[in-house]
Amino acid sequence: MASISLRNVVKKYGAATVIPDLNLEIEDEEFIVLVGPSGCGKSTLLRVLAGLEAIDGGDLMIGDRRVNDVPAAKRDIAMVFQDYALYPHMTVRQNMAFALEMRDLPASEINAKIDAAAKLLDIHPYLDRRPKALSGGQRQRVAMGRAIVRDPQVFLFDEPLSNLDAKLRGQVRAEIKTLSRQLRTTMVFVTHDQIEAMTMADRIVVMKSGVIQQVGTPEEVYEAPINLFVASFIGSPSMNFLPITLEGEQLRLAGGDSLPLDSGLSTGVSGPDLILGVRPEHFEVVPEGQGIPAEIMLVEPLGSDTLIHVRAAEQDLIARVSPDLRPVAGGSVFLRPIAGKAHLFDSATEMRLIGKNGK
């Protein structure tokens, strides 16, 4: 168990600066999910934490200890990789025992730790198999077991679910979350998948090009994304963006349609160069005259609800509607943002404009 503190951390590869100046405080026992598009520096940051990469500036603290110059083996951190990195010539038991044998623990203690981890992860039946005789999900569990027996201060996970099929991914996601509650160890989990981030994290760290965009609980980043990047990255399908001009109490949309300004958007600003952000689930279908006319281009029934791809206010938008509406391609509906759910951004700075109610 330990807190982690990154202060003005810089990481370069040759002339390329991958992390220009990063600050982050992770609390003891916290489950942090680092999320961002491929290439934004997530793995680099994990490798920095693990001590597999040296930093070019700043300070890295684990607990009270400054670990800038502490080698990986002495950091008391366990890392689970995307490809699991199990030793192919060793059985599951030997894979799990390896790091403990290196520490010269007595055999009885090693076996007790393996038994406990195997019970936790439900991998007892495979202890004598080699990795090649295991399914992807089983290997993933063994990789976690190997990390757990080390009883580290911090767990690092680098996209450990990306090689699993969708159903298994959902299952293991829930297992890791449950595990984190049981182990009460600080965890940093990297993913490019915003659903994993939303479902697992105590706090999400959204990164872009080595720069943290926002740190917050899943609710915070969903309900109050700080800029257009976070707004479009978190949530699926992505938030819709409409260029607007604010004229008094009216939102003027491209093409001439307008909507009344709802109280949640009273930001004190007016004029052009604003962007209205509306999540697909925050459109409501309203009678003619009360919303913007939308031509239905494509219908995607999901069972529980239906996505309609529409053309409205000169934009391609997606709305999540009730299947009972029985929408059909070629038809039309009238859409309006649900009061208090829309977002307003400055198109020049791409930053969210804060409303009167602080949202």
Ligand X SMILES: Nc1ncnc2c1ncn2[C@@H]1O[C@H](COP(=O)(O)OP(=O)(O)O)[C@@H](O)[C@H]1O
The binder of 333, among Mg ion, ligand X, none, by C-beta within 5 to 8 A per type, is none
Long-range contacts of 222-227 (CB under 8 A, 24+ apart): 222/198, 223/359, 224/352, 224/359, 225/277, 225/343, 225/352, 226/351, 226/352, 227/345, 227/349, 227/350, 227/351, 227/352
Residue among 42 and 309 whose Cβ is closer to ligand X: 42
Q: Does 213 bind Mg ion (CB under 5 A)?
A: no
Q: Token pair of 74, please? A: 């002495």
279 touches, from Mg ion, ligand X, none (C-beta below 5 to 8 Å by class): none
Smallest distance from ligand X to CB 42, Å: 3
**95 makes contact with Mg ion (CB under 5 A):** no
Residue 20 or 237: the one with the smaller Cβ distance to ligand X is 20
Give yes or no for residue 13 binding ligand X (CB under 6 A).
Answer: yes
What tokens were used for 170? 């959902």
CA distance 253 to 47: 46
43 lies in the site for Mg ion, by CB under 5 A: yes
Contact string (CB under 6 A) for ligand X, positions 180-219, x = contact: ----------------------------------------
One residue of 6, 24, 26, 40 binding ligand X per CB under 6 A: 40
Considering the complex, state which of residue 126 and residue 189 has its C-beta at the smaller distance from ligand X. 189
- Binding of ligand X at residue 327 (CB under 6 A)? no
The stretch near ligand X (CB under 6 A) out of 32-40, 65-73, 84-92, 180-188 is 32-40
What letter represents residue 221's amino acid? V
By CB under 6 A, is residue 44 in contact with ligand X?
Answer: yes
If one asks whether residue 42 binds ligand X (CB under 6 A), the answer comes out as: yes
Among Mg ion, ligand X, none, partner that 323 touches (CB below 5 to 8 angstroms by kind) = none
Q: Footprint of ligand X on this chain (CB under 6 A)?
A: 13, 18, 36, 38-44
Q: Footprint of Mg ion on this chain (CB under 5 A)?
A: 43
